[in-house]
Amino acid sequence: MNTPAGWLEDGNALARSYRFEGFGQAFAFLTRVSFHAERVDHHPEFTSRWNRVDFRLTTHDAGGITDRDVALAAEIDRLAAECGGR
């Protein structure tokens, strides 16, 4: 499995951080990610600090990274770009 561009393999998970201009943009981004995660029934681990959001994606049932994590990473990247994340 190929690690998506911009993401790092961190043990049994994919990891990436995004920064935004402020809290409102970061929160709007997380809201959009959460709606997508609910639709696909695959939920990321994340932390949020003011203008920064950190993700770890793993499939717990499989014990590591799967195609579902790679697909979620791609959608998170797309949403981040739309919301001004870098």
Instruction: Give the Å distances, CA to CA, from 80 to 23, 29, 37, 84.
Output: 14, 6, 14, 6
DSSP string, 10-75: ETTEEEEEEE-SSHHHHHHHHHHHHHHHHHHT---EEEEETTEEEEEE-BGGGTB--HHHHHHHHH
Supply the pTM of this predicted model. 0.95
What dotted CATH number matches 8-82? Answer: 3.30.1360.20
Encoded amino acid at 66, one letter = T
Q: What is the pLDDT of residues 5-62, one digit of tens each?
A: 999 999 999 999 999 999 999 999 999 999 999 999 999 999 999 999 999 999 999 9
Spell out the domain ranges in the chain. Answer: 8-82
